[in-house]
Chains A and B, each alone.
Chain A
Amino acid sequence: EVQLLESGGGLVQPGGSLRLSCAASGFTFSSYTMNWVRQAPGKGLEWVSAICGSSDSTYYAESVKGRFTISRDNSKNALYLQMNSLRAEDTAVYYCAKSTGGSCYSGIGYWGQGILVTVSS
């Protein structure tokens, strides 16, 4: 059974940093593209970043480019999102999400339960 468990969220001041982690199990982690998707309170889904299983290429939404860094450790079955220069508009539930394949260009088949990041002074 696929399981994705996010950790590392919480309250941070504007301009601060936070590192999200996602522990994955139940599948061959290195073979799949992994994503971070966020959802601001009461709002819709916003794709944030992906790291492709087939190539380890990384992609970012324009809203986080230059501030967030996605990475993975295949030996630990772990996905990370380093978030720097955080802004109030980054406040959201962040989902770790597994794509349906190793290609960068595939749908998102499994989602974690999400973790809340609050950016506020």
Chain B
Amino acid sequence: DIVMTQSPDSLAVSLGERATINCRSSQSVLYSSNNKNYLGWYQQKPGQPPKLLINWASTRESGVPDRFSGSGSGTDFTLTISSLQAEDVAVYYCQQYYSMPCTFGQGTKLEIK
């Protein structure tokens, strides 16, 4: 199974500042035939189901604010929130869907400093 490891486990950032969350996979999730990274980022707020923010490592889902961006390829990925808003307080997860079983990272809790 592909193991997904996120860092840090928790993060406190001031309003308006940049937040960066990292995700590393134990093997590449880049499918060479279509040059797509099979990696998604999810946001989960307290008491709510997760929400897909970023698909294919860098494609923002419809309706997701453009302060959210995803980058990286192969085994190393980053979710960046360019200017933290109060409503961004949540736990963020990465997930690989390159191979079954698809697996999630352990989560990163983002708080306001």
Contact = CB atoms under 8 A, between A and B. Distances in A.
Interface of A: 37, 44-47, 50, 59-62, 95, 100, 104-109, 111-114
Interface of B: 1, 38, 40, 42, 44, 49-52, 55-56, 61, 91, 93, 95, 97-107
A108 B100 contact: no
Given A45-B107, A46-B104, A62-B101, 11 more contacts: A45-B104, A59-B100, A100-B52, A100-B55, A104-B100, A105-B100, A107-B40, A107-B52, A107-B95, A108-B40, A112-B49
A47 B38 contact: no
Interface of B is mostly: loop
Contacts of B1: 62
A95 B104 contact: no
Nearest to B100: A59
A60 B104 contact: no
